[in-house]
């Protein structure tokens, strides 16, 4: 049973190699499991690990740079910036956008992707509490499709 499990795990590992990573080798060139494993261990940036990078403090330039540099040194090639409760840097403020610019410039230097998580906390669409604060009548509203 353990042997079958290990074979299944190996099959999943090999099956998870992205098609575009395999396409880095010309057709017919990918011949061994060692080549497949090498691609899996060092995937292209767009298929690498992409952790949520939680912004939940008073952010500083040094934090932004050192976090990205630390992640890059571990082979992480992309991150999702995710503002969460505890964030003291005002959301969508000029300082917020300045720090984003710093993160993007640093990531570019490190050949990393930085993705925008769609919202400040949950649920999506409330702009970190601004929508219900400014438009309390919008709470609990939704759209229904009727044919």
In what helix (H) or strand (E) does residue 74 lie, and over which residues does it extend?
A: none
Local structure of 68: helix, strand or coil: helix
Give me the pLDDT at residue 79, please. Answer: 96
Q: Rounded to an integer, what distance in angstroms lies between the CA atom of residue 99 and that of residue 89?
A: 9
Q: Rounded to an integer, what distance in angstroms lies between the CA atom of residue 66 and that of residue 68?
A: 6
In a 13 Å sphere around the CA of 35, the CA atoms on its Cβ side amount to 11
Give me the pLDDT at residue 12, please. Answer: 41
Give me the pLDDT at residue 2, please. Answer: 46
pTM equals: 0.65
- All structural domains of the chain: 1-40 (no CATH), 48-138 (3.30.750)
Give me the pLDDT at residue 7, please. Answer: 43
Which regions of the chain are under pLDDT 70? 1-30, 122-123, 126
Give me the pLDDT at residue 30, please. Answer: 62
Give me the pLDDT at residue 29, please. Answer: 66
Q: Are strands 113-116 and 52-55 parallel, antiparallel or unpaired?
A: unpaired
């Amino acid at each position: 049973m353990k042997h079958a499990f290990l074979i299944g795990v190996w099959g999943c590992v090999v099956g998870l190699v992205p098609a575009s990573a395999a396409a880095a080798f010309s057709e017919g060139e990918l011949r061994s499991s060692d080549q497949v494993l090498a691609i899996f261990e060092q995937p292209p940036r767009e298929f690498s690990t992409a952790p949520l990078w939680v912004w939940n403090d008073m952010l500083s330039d040094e934090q932004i740079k050192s976090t990205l540099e630390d992640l890059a040194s571990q082979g992480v090639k992309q991150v999702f910036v995710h503002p969460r409760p505890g964030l003291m840097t005002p959301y969508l403020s000029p300082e917020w956008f300045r720090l984003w610019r710093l993160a993007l410039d640093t990531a570019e230097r490190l050949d990393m992707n930085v993705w925008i998580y769609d919202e400040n906390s949950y649920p999506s669409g409330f702009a970190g509490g601004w929508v219900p604060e400014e438009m309390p009548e919008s709470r609990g509203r939704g759209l229904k499709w009727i044919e």
